[in-house]
Structure 1
Amino acid sequence: MDVSSYVLLSQEQALRRRLDVAANNLANMNTVGFKREAPVFREFVKQGETTVTPDAKKTSFVLDYGAVHDASSGGFQVTENPLDVMIEGPGYLSVEAPGGGTAYTRAGYIKIAQSGELVTAGGQKILGEGGQPITVPPESAGRLSISPDGSVMGVDGPLGRIAVTVFDEKNMDPRGDGMFNGTGGRELTAAETSLKTGGVEGSNVNAITETTDMVEILRAYQTSMNLNESMSDLRKKAIDRLGRVG
């Protein structure tokens, strides 16, 4: 293939990446706490081996640079479960990750496990201040409440406080299971924490936006295919003319 074919191929790979991200966003539009992702690309300029002038024969390629997630909040979805929470503002709930370590999530489904510990819908332990699980005595199980500052209140007083940690969003890495890995976070104090109970945070995906983006991707891919066919026709005509000259 010549250089023009490689340039078009890099563009088509970028379009496929955009399509994969848009499709994943649409698939998770009803996933609690899901954050919309957007691909990031960068331009790679290659200087030709032989040039007439220093600025001549520069070729521009598209490179996949990664993806970022939209940290804006989703809408409040009422569940009428007093233990379910939505974080109002920035921050993530700390949970015990599968296999050990700490993961972070915006999905605020909370229940009491048979062991008496607060866990997520997936069974991961909710971590309180200092990274410790929160255990609920049997007598408090049916009369538990969560204060706006994250304090878990039993019949005899507070049992702990749900930890909310904030990060620089560039340090957040999606795990693919509704949770994130994060580095360099700061645990918020009670005065800085704001939880809304009785519901959870919905996805921040806008179906119309994602569908429109998918249509634009399809049209761009069709344009790229047409260019590829036009270049192929030009090559055939050039070869045919060279054959006649010979």
Structure 2
Amino acid sequence: MDVSSYVLLSHEQALRRQLDVTANNMANTGTVGFKREQPLFHEFIETVREAPIDDAKQISFVLDFGAVHDAAQGAFQATGNPLDVMIDGPGYLNVEAPGGGVAYTRAGFIKLLESGELATSGGQRLLDAQGRAITVPAEQASSLTIAEDGTVMGADGPLGQLAVSGFSSETAVDPRGDGLMNGTNGRFLAAAEVKLKAGGVEASNVQPIVETTKMVEILRAYQTSVGMSDSMNTMRQRAIERLGKVA
């Protein structure tokens, strides 16, 4: 396999990665709190000793560098449940991760467990800034509300405050499944920085038309790459046939 084939192969692998990410975005169009992803690629340049011209001595390959989230705000989706919240702005709700530790989520479906603790729809307990679960006395469950700054209010006053963490870059946040994220180097947002909207959740920020258009573009680029590969194979075959005749 010559250098041109390796270059085309790296390009096709990058296109496949783009297609996988785009298809995942499409599949999560209706997922609450989902942020569309876009892949990141790194250019790797290799220098060869011999080439027909000097400009051809540097060969550029495409390497998968990861993916980054689009932090654009999703639309408010009313649910009629006064406990459901949408984070209006940056940040993630802190929840107890399965197996221990802290995970993060933008999916604001909130329910009350039998134990009286606030949790996500998946059953992960919501945490405050001290990493503790927020427990609601049974007699106050019917009058429960969540204020704009995340304060959980009962009939007799505050019961706790939902912790919201922010990150300097979306590259510090990685999906772990079930609407949860792993995050590094986050910080608790002060009450003045937090703005929650109760009575609804944040819809996915995926735009189906945009993703469909991108998918078509990727498929066309892949077809072009395959066509170039077929053309080079034909050129090689003809060259071998001519060399055979000369010999």
Q: By the TM > 0.5 criterion, same fold? A: yes
How far does residue 54 in structure 1 lie from its aligned partner after superposition?
6.2
Task: Specify the SS of the correspondent of 1:123.
Answer: coil
Secondary structure at the aligned position of 2:174 is classed as: strand
Is the CA contact (8 Å cut-off) linking 1:129 and 1:160 kept in structure 2?
no
2:33 and 2:202 in contact (8 A); partners too? yes
Alignment correspondent of 1:173:
174
- SS of the equivalent of 2:191 reads coil
What amino acid maps onto 1:3 in structure 2? V
The residue aligned with 2:195 is 194
- Assess if the C-alpha contact under 8 Å between 2:67 and 2:171 holds in 1: no
What is residue 19 of structure 1 aligned with on the other side? 19
Aligned to 2:140: 140
Shift of 1:55: 5.1
Tell me whether 1:95 sits opposite 2:95 in the alignment.
yes
Equivalent runs, 1:109-120 vs 2, <5 Å: 109-120=109-120
Give the drift of 1:48.
Answer: 1.1
Query: What corresponds to 1:59 in structure 2?
Result: 59
TM-score (norm 1): 0.97
Aligned partners of 2:129 and 2:62: how far apart in 1? Answer: 45
Superposition map of 1:118-133 within 5 A: 118-133=118-133
SS in 2 for 1:10: helix
* Runs of at least 5 residues in structure 2 that lack an aligned partner in the other structure: none
- Separation of aligned partners in 1, 2:158 and 2:42: 51
Indicate yes or no: 2:8 matched with 1:8. yes
Counterpart amino acid of residue 124 in structure 1: Q
- What corresponds to 1:225 in structure 2? 226
Aligned residues: 246
Ranges of 4+ aligned residues in structure 1 off by more than 4 Å:
51-56
Q: Secondary structure at the match of 1:191?
A: helix
1:199-210 alignment to 2 at 5 Å? 199-210=200-211
Offset at residue 72 of structure 1 (A)? 1.1
Structure 2 CA distance for aligned equivalents of residues 23 and 56 of structure 1: 36
Distance 1:55 1:230, change over 3 A: closer
TM-score, normalised relative to structure 2: 0.96
2:104 and 2:65 map into 1 onto residues whose CA distance is: 24
In the TM superposition, residue 49 of structure 1 has moved relative to its aligned partner by 3.5
Deviations 1:44-103 (A, max 9, x none): 111114357765422111111111010111000000000000011111100000000000
Q: Flag the 1:226–1:56 CA change in 2: closer, same or farther, 3 A.
A: closer
Return closer, same or farther for 1:52/1:212 CA change in 2, 3 Å cut-off. Answer: closer
Contact 1:34-1:203 within 8 A present in 2 as well: yes
Query: Partners of 2:53 and 2:240 in 1: how far apart?
Result: 29
Shift of the 84–39 alpha-carbon distance from structure 1 to 2, 3 Å rule, reads same
The root-mean-square deviation of aligned C-alpha atoms, in Å, is: 1.2
Instruction: Report the AA paired with residue 76 of structure 2.
Output: F
Q: Structure 1 unaligned runs (5+)?
A: none
